[in-house]
Amino acid sequence: MKRILVVLFCTGLLPAAAWAAQKSVTLDVSGMTCPTCPITIKKTLLKQLGVTGVTVHYQKKELVVAFDDAKTNAEAITKSTASIGFPSTVAR
Ligand SMILES: [Cu+2]
């Protein structure tokens, strides 16, 4: 009986793992006022679980954040930038 439960548990998890995908989100960060701001933001985000890459477009005050959607999401990323003083919104 125990064995059957384990098998069900494992097969239940497999599809989620297989579908975990790299996604990216573009964020407007109007608070980036000098060239060192993005460096701070980038450092913080790259320490966050699931974030795999950060590209900064300082001129446009935009960040493109690549992440693993099984581990994090756009909301967690915007919260993270806000926690260090850079509120951000998802760009449309
Ligand atoms: Cu700055």
Q: Give the domain CATH number at 71.
A: 3.30.70.100
The model carries a pTM of 0.77
User: What is the CA(44)–ligand 1 centre distance, in A?
Assistant: 14
Does some domain include residue 86?
yes
User: What is the CA(53)–ligand 1 centre distance, in A?
Assistant: 20
* Edge-to-edge strands, sheet with 62-68: 51-57, 62-68, 22-28, 89-90
User: What is the CA(19)–ligand 1 centre distance, in A?
Assistant: 38
Domain with 48, as residue range(s), is 20-90
Does some domain include residue 2?
no
User: What is the CA(38)–ligand 1 centre distance, in A?
Assistant: 7
Does some domain include residue 6?
no
Tally of domains in the chain: 1
Does some domain include residue 42?
yes
Q: How many residues does the chain have?
A: 92
pLDDT tens digit sequence for 18-77: 567 899 999 999 999 998 999 999 999 999 999 999 999 999 999 999 999 999 999 999
